[in-house]
Structure 1
Amino acid sequence: MSQTTTETGSNLSFILNKPYDVKFEERPKPTIQSPHDVVVAINYTGICGSDVHYWVEGRIGPFVVKDPMVLGHESAGTIVTVGDAVRSLKVGDRVAIEPGFPCRRCEPCLSGHYNLCIDMHFAATPPYDGTLAGFYASPEDFCYKLPESVSLQEGALIEPLAVAVHIVKQAEIKPGQSVVVMGAGPVGLLCCAVAKAYGASKIVSVDIVPSRLEFAASYAATHTFTPERKPAEENAARLLEEVGIPEGADAVIDASGAEPSIQTSIHVVRRGGVYVQGGMGKPDITFPIMTLCTKEVTCKGSFRYGSGDYKLAVELVASKKVDVKKLITGTVKFEDAEQAFKDVKAGTGIKCLIAGPNEKI
């Protein structure tokens, strides 16, 4: 038999019907579908750019909201039910939830790249519901127990931190290297922090918003740079001169998805360096392919997170090597979720958390 608490609570859910059309609805509580599953009472959920994109556009690429969908995927909570076969978790454990679980059978899964699974079940990606609800069911091995030193609010930021961990792994950052990060949103800032934890000696944060660069400088960046409305090569040349890396950066990470940033990035990376595309933007852009070729740049994409990324993200927070608390701008009540989405869309703050309907703030 599964183990469960006697705790009762609301499974009030924040649901997107179509662009700008959301509602609160009490839904049935999820139940154990596999002996390896757990049910988590959601305490806190962060708002991601993809959540806002679904709210505004109703789709991201081929993923289209056709039926009402619960939003949210950056969550932490408390275990309330465990299946018969669950061994690593127990009722009452506080966990960060990895919001996507793979089929475990396809070639990407079997080769250790489950983030590329052809049948990924990812929260708040059609047709799957997200975590902005009272309760959420998940496989045991995609819930990560939080050490006592890590709060549930910090736990909700493990998801974007795991994204940054994966990007920095793709960039192959080594101690003493120089890194340029395009975009000072939450993921860009966390890329700076993870690069610092990996031992990068020069970390440059690039953005067009002064307040974000001010925060980046106080957070993990050693240098900041504001591009101008000039050709990419000119911005790249000025950046390299100002931060003192005339031969180019060892690694450049784009966490913005903006075409000018991507173009500038290829001119910033050194010969034989690494470029990682972490941000998503327009499906097609103009790209300096000749520069990429003549420099023999290693160019990689980065998608979500893979094996070991969530575990490392938890360890980085627990060891105080990455401070995610500084990114939390504020926490709102569940009934104010739509206003929180409006604030994020308007660029207010860095990371806003929504308390679960059973969490009192």
Structure 2
Amino acid sequence: MRALVLEKVGQLSLREFPIEERLGPRDVRIDLKVVGICGSDLHYYTHGRIGPFVVEAPMILGHEAAGVVTEVGAEVAHLVVGDRVCMEPGIPDQTSRAARQGMYNVDPAVRFWATPPVHGILRPSCTHPADYCFKLPQDVSFAEGAMVEPLAVGVHAATKARIRPGDTALVLGAGPIGLLTAMAARAGGCARVWVADLDAAKLEIARGLGFDPIDVGQGTPAETILPATEGWGCDVVYEATGSPKAAAGVFAPLAPGGCVVMIGGQSEPVPYDAGAAMVREARVENIFRYAHVFPRCVAMIASGAIDVKPLITRTFAFEDSVEAFEVAASAPKGDVKMQIAF
């Protein structure tokens, strides 16, 4: 079938690709309708690797998706042909120690779409375990359904922070993950959320969503947070940039007893101010993707508790997939989430 293939670093093609997937008894076949372009897709395109995951052969990109069930395996009971679904892209070994302890996202054997050597789903159809497919209500669009995967990262981060009603939070980074984390933090009970970034256009989107923007080109987040909190700091800091400079400063705006949640992937070790963490008795959490949150994300979008539509800033046709990645890789100001529609 035709697919968007990463041939090597910096080279994409939309071409026929030999991929054959057998429908197992617990699987469903899905016609793809919308696929989002993720930062990890772009990183493989521009760098060919993320940490230990290296592209060594042509690979189909894409893992944020929604579509329609066209065939069901013999043992599938909760889905039928015609159901609209979003899909969790990671498939763990259910017998692994991590999966048995409920941490299936950190299972070393997990097979995750568009993570070498596993192919992604920027193609017309795929098969997937029914247990990792989630039905979309009729009033949730395919475009919103494809946003469930990145929203899951934000919800997992908010859950890790153990937010209490009335908490204050700072999100470093106004990209898709940063803004979705801010939304999840507010939905989880935060009374005030600041979002920090260098991109003025993205900060305006954050302001329009009801968050307090901080332009880090004009000063550090701590210079805004501390006066606004009578010198105390905010209860939670989410690092969603993947920037070593941002990661090095996570404790400065943090309140005593506060929590830092590391979201952005770091390709190299980053400085850690142990003294600043110690005097605050700071709690530091790390997340790797997500676990057990897809149904919550679908429910929040369906109820209106979280509105992801303002973050979808550009949509391309599948036939224009190569152009879509070229545009996304150029990081145009003000663009948050770009999607590809079939």
Range into which the TM-score falls when normalised by the shorter chain: over 0.9
Q: Does 1:332 align with 2:316?
A: yes
Give TM-score scaled by structure 1 length: 0.91
Q: Does 1:311 align with 2:259?
A: no
Following superposition, the deviation at residue 32 of structure 1 comes to 3.5
Instruction: Map 1:168-183; keep pairs closer than 5 Å.
Output: 168-183=158-173
Question: Which residue number corresponds to residue 36 of structure 1?
Answer: 26
Instruction: Map 1:284-303; keep pairs closer than 5 Å.
Output: 284-303=269-288
Q: Does 1:148 align with 2:138?
A: yes
Question: Which residue number corresponds to residue 226 of structure 1?
Answer: 215
Instruction: Map 1:1-361; keep pairs closer than 5 Å.
Output: 11-27=1-17, 30-221=20-211, 223-228=212-217, 235-307=220-292, 309-348=293-332, 349-356=335-342
- Aligned mates of 2:222, 2:22 — CA distance in 1: 57
The answer (yes or no) to whether the contact 1:192–1:220 under 8 Å persists in 2 is no
* Matched residue SS, 1:300: strand
Equivalenced residue count is 340
- Aligned mates of 1:55, 1:193 — CA distance in 2: 28
- Aligned mates of 1:290, 1:13 — CA distance in 2: 50
Give TM-score scaled by structure 2 length: 0.96
The answer (yes or no) to whether the contact 2:51–2:267 under 8 Å persists in 1 is no
- Aligned mates of 1:39, 1:268 — CA distance in 2: 48
1:38 partner amino acid: V
What is the alpha-carbon root mean square deviation over aligned residues?
1.4
- Aligned mates of 1:323, 1:90 — CA distance in 2: 27
Higher mean C-alpha deviation, range 46-55 or range 30-39: 30-39
- Aligned mates of 1:151, 1:286 — CA distance in 2: 42
Aligned-pair identity in percent equals 36
- Aligned mates of 1:31, 1:238 — CA distance in 2: 54
* Matched residue SS, 2:249: helix
Structure 1: unaligned runs, 5 residues or longer: 1-10, 357-361
- Aligned mates of 1:206, 1:353 — CA distance in 2: 24
Following superposition, the deviation at residue 33 of structure 1 comes to 3.9
- Aligned mates of 2:44, 2:197 — CA distance in 1: 24
- Aligned mates of 2:123, 2:153 — CA distance in 1: 23
